[in-house]
A and B are shown apart, each in its own frame.
Chain A
Amino acid sequence: MHTEEILLVTALGSVLILFLIKLKNVMKKAEEKLINEKKEDILKFLYKQLQENKITTFSDLQLFSNLKPDRLIKIVHILLREKKIKYDNENVKLTSEGIQKAEKIIEKHRKIEKYLFENTSISIEEIHSIAEKEEHAETKIPEHQNSYECVDPHGDVIKGNSIPYKSLLSVIHCPEKIYKIIHIEDEPKEIYAKIVKMDLAPFEYIKIIQLKDKSIDILTNKGQKLEIDIITANNIFIAEEKDENIEKLFEEIEKKISQISTLDKLKIKEKAKIIGISFYIRGEEKRRLLELGFVKNSIVEPLYNNMLGDDPRVYKIKNTMIALRKEQAQKIYVEKLV
């Protein structure tokens, strides 16, 4: 062979080897990332089981994680070595260290959700799945910038646990009772979207009117009458609330229920008093509306439409003219003045 050929072959060979090493590195990184994600998912799962007082066996883990057995074993090994989990007669349990770690992950998840809710225009149903991805990574999403937040958009306390709550479905008797919505489950997406559309949100109050076979009739603190089917009800979590002010509020609302409507439904020149605005008007938009006077008890009046129809429409509030789009007006509750 000629020297040139030898040189060429060596050069090509070394390039190939370098490439293979690089490839291996990349693959190793990807594998590490995957394992890390799965590890964190398993910790979260165990934490949830713990909270629900359920025991977890290895096969539960397998069912949950959907991993090949050898992979799962590897991950469990790592977790055991890191002292995040321990075996306790066949059952897998979190150690205190594991609990701490799981809480950290959940906290991060909620923080990301809150950030996305307040500072982006990502639709609320998608927020959960994005946060699910971002919580593992060195996330690029900054922590909520200007303010410390303590609850996420589903009503969960970011650091620590909420007060005990139960599903709306578990209400068996005694209608006429007032509850506060504490938490709204964000999975599955379709049901969550339905709840959002009904404008049911954390921190709102509801009064049970009637329990039916397949649905529950409720009245909200903004004067909406809603019929909730049982599947949806199962995803709404509530706690009892005994507060005189709230009871009074509901009394008042029931009295004037026929005048209650949303801003977009008012006719031109029809004056109304604001009852409240939706939880799902988010971030900056909400603050702006409040500052401009869209608060409880303000008087508002639709002044005129635009050239192409009634979206957006101009409203008069605090002697100023403000144009709002239809979706915004739909989320503002008012009481018509007679």
Chain B
Amino acid sequence: MQKDFEEIIKKVDNYRIKYNNTFRDKIIEDMHNQISDILTDIVDYQETNDLISKLEKYVDLFLTSKIGGIILLISFLSIALWITLTGAGYISSFLSLIFERIEVFLRNILAVLKVHDLLISFLIDGVYKGVAIVVAVMLPPMAIFFPLFTFLEDLGLLPRIALNMDKIFKSVGAHGNQALTMIVGFGCNAAGVVSTRIIKSPKERLIAILTNNFMPCNGRWPLLIMISILFLVPAITNSSNPLLGSIIASLALVSSVIIGLGFTLVVSLGLSKALKSYSSFYILEIPPFRKPNLLRIIYTSIIDRTLFVLSRAVYMAIPAGIFVWIINQLNLSQTLIAFFDPFGKLFGLDGTIILAYIIALPANEIVIPALMMLYTGSKNFMEIEELQSIYQILTVYGNWDWKTGVCVMLFSILHNPCSTTILTIYRETNSLKWTVIATIMPLIIAFSTLFLVHNLVLKNIH
């Protein structure tokens, strides 16, 4: 007769109960102890004269001290941002130049091939230009930021930052590693979302994914800087002292980061209350310092991060380019602007700004060119170098004042993630529900904040 399987299970259950349901724990414990015994006379720890090994201990002590921790964090942030923002400008304009040449070249070829004019316009003005502008603006900051970040990662510095920041994140129910994902988010939110993999507990990881968007990414910095310089500085001071001006502009930027941080923390707190059905724990391994391998860093940061993000961006830019092209072909933009205008006015924005943000769904970088295009009624994205001309366009066509500036800045920090990020969130969470929430939640937060700020605060200031 065959044995009944349920009987075996029952017997097993009885044993497990007798042994307090801790077979697994016991075995692990026992293994550890046996291994310790076996290894006692095999492994030998000796004092070394190696300078680095000795230094390491002090470095760790320094980095986790008050002063050291702050120096580490601030120097890391400021150097990373400074290099990225200044360096990126040069590469960006260089790339634009190249893309223009290619455009001329492509047009010629298509003309020789006797392709229909409308199709040429579709391919070049729609598809090609959409992609070119996204690549030209997105690639350079990433190409600088990511190697820098990877370098520090390889060195083993990042977990130390996470350790230092944990207390803040713990108070809102999140994981210290979220600090790292937020720093990556400065570079690019899509990459930030991918980097949440370093958070191993499901609840904290989800929190980090859903809030990463509140860190202004590279694509949003130019807009924030531009508005600070053009609208906030004159609104606060009349003096034309350039030093004072740049101090105010920097303060405005720092405030935007702080606003983003504030929203991150508040939303994290809310989410940690709402996500109780996910398990949560904190265990952070601090790896030893290791010598970074420079060549590999460049390689992995370009392949792993930059190209990865860029390919998704291009993928999303094509439909957007086509969308802009269609709008322009059908002369729809004015209709759409008029349609969105009353809605935008509720929040201190206008129809053009809303439409610009819709067009800029694939990449935040194209908000300014889209605004210029829409305000001037041009058929193409406009990249204007000179701040004064931008100022002219915004104030003359758009009727902007510093209040509009504040509203746009707030919207830029809080609004929905770009489509590349949305796609990435979907890949990472594998859940439509969380993707939708990650998209809608920031929008609701952005609009309600703007509504309050615009109607309760700004309207009362004269």
Physical contact A–B (CB less than 8 Å): yes
The answer to whether B22 and A284 touch across the interface, beta carbons within 8 angstroms, is no
- CB pair B163–A290 under 8 Å, yes or no, is no
Interface range for A: 35 or more
Residue in contact with A307 in the complex, picked from B17, B45, B69, CB distance below 8 Å: B69
Q: Which residues in A have their C-beta under 8 angstroms from that of B13?
A: 148, 150, 157, 159
Whether B279 lies near A314 (C-beta < 8 A) is no
Contact A321 to B286, CB < 8 A, known contacts A297-B33, A306-B167, A309-B167: yes
B164 at the interface (CB under 8 A from A): yes
Using a Cβ cutoff of 8 Å, how many contacts connect chains A and B?
131
Q: Are A120 and B167 in contact (CB under 8 A)?
A: no
- Flag the segment in B57-65, B80-88, B98-106, B389-397 that touches A: B57-65
Tell me, rounded to whole Å, the shortest Cβ–Cβ distance linking A151 to chain B.
5
Report chain A residues within 8 Å CB of B345: none
Q: Is the CB of A303 within 8 A of B60?
A: yes
Q: How far is the CA of A63 from the CA of B159 in the complex (A)?
A: 59
Name the interface size band of chain B.
35 or more
The verdict on A212 contacting chain B, using a C-beta distance below 8 Å, is no
A312 lies within 8 A of B281 (CB): no
A325 close to B282 (CB less than 8 A)? yes
Least Cβ–Cβ distance between A153 and chain B, in angstroms:
10
Closest to A314 in B: B286
As a 0/1 sequence over residues 64 to 83 of chain B, the CB contacts with chain A under 8 angstroms (1 = contact) are 11101110000000000000
Q: Which chain A residues numbered 254 to 299 have a C-beta less than 8 Å away from chain B?
A: 282-293, 295-298
Which of chain A's residues 139-197 have a Cβ closer than 8 Å to chain B? 148-151, 157, 159, 162
Asked, given contacts A295-B32, A308-B167, A322-B286, whether A119 binds B279 with beta carbons under 8 Å apart, the answer is: yes
Are B21 and A150 within 8 A (Cβ)? yes
Contact of B163 among A298, A312, A320 (CB under 8 A): A312
Q: Which residue from B17, B159, B283, B287 sits with its C-beta under 8 Å from A289?
A: B283
Contact of A122 among B20, B33, B277 (CB under 8 A): B277
Which residues of B, 283-324, contact A by the 8 Å Cβ criterion?
Answer: 283-288
**Interfacial chain B residues near A311, Cβ < 8 Å:** 166-167, 170
Within 8 Å by CB of B282, from A162, A286, A305, A328, lies A328
Tell me the bound Cα distance from A309 to B64 in angstroms. 9
Q: Say if the beta carbon of B346 comes within 8 Å of chain A.
A: no
Name B's A-contacting residues (CB within 8 A): 9, 13, 16-17, 20-22, 24-25, 28-29, 32-33, 36, 45, 60-61, 64-66, 68-70, 159, 163-164, 166-168, 170, 176, 201, 203, 275-288
6 A-B pairs (CB sep. < 8 Å): A121-B275, A121-B280, A122-B276, A151-B17, A285-B283, A296-B33
State the A residues within 8 Å of B (CB): 118-122, 148-151, 157, 159, 162, 202-203, 282-293, 295-298, 303-309, 311-312, 314, 319-325, 328
